[in-house]
Structures are given as C-alpha cells and as structure tokens.
Amino acid sequence: MGAPNMWVQILIALLAIGALPTVITLLAKIRLLPLAVSMLLAYGAPTWAAEHQTALLVALILSVLYPLLVWGGKFYTWWQEEQYLRGKLLASATPLNRVDSSEYDW
C-alpha cells in the first residue's frame, strides 16, 4: 500500500484543523494546555529550545505543577467536605441495634 494521495492528505489536514478547537478546549478544561504548549515549543522549535534550555525547563516544570496543584486543591476540598458530611451524618444517626429497656420486663 502506497502513500495516501493528495485528496486523502487534504481530508486528513481538514479534519485535524477542524478538531483543533475541541482539543484546545479539552486541554484547557483539564488544565493541561500549558503543558501541551510547552511541549509544542520544545519539539516544534528545537533551535530555540537548544538556545533557551533554562527557560524551557522552567516552563515545563511550571506547566506540570499547575495541573497538579489545581487538581490537588480540588481533591483536598472534596476530601474535607466528605469528612465533614460523614461526621455530620454519623452524629445524627441512630443505631440500628438500640435496645429500649422499656420493651423488656426484667
């Protein structure tokens, strides 16, 4: 099987261009857009990356830390809410095996 002809290549390019806004939106929502941009910089501009290794390394570290901190904060908030609600539920719950002494003639 040979290489795709010109029309198949044009179709693939149009599909990629059409999917680009969706991909960018999804990456932004999951907070990975800065990482994608810094990786694109690293691989898309190798001469710039070779000249500015420190800046690229700082950008990569920050773009990895950003989603970790955002999602870590969301997880910690969720965990605190869960602990609070669990404590509130347990404080207001009545035990199932509670024995009422008035039921028995002792």
Q: Are 15 and 21 in contact (CB under 8 A)?
A: no
Pinpoint the alpha helices (H) of 1-106: 6-29, 33-44, 46-51, 53-92
Which pTM does this prediction carry?
Answer: 0.66
Q: Give pLDDT tens digits along the chain (106 positions).
A: 677 899 999 999 999 999 999 999 999 999 999 999 999 989 999 999 999 999 999 999 999 999 999 999 999 999 999 999 999 999 988 877 766 666 666 5
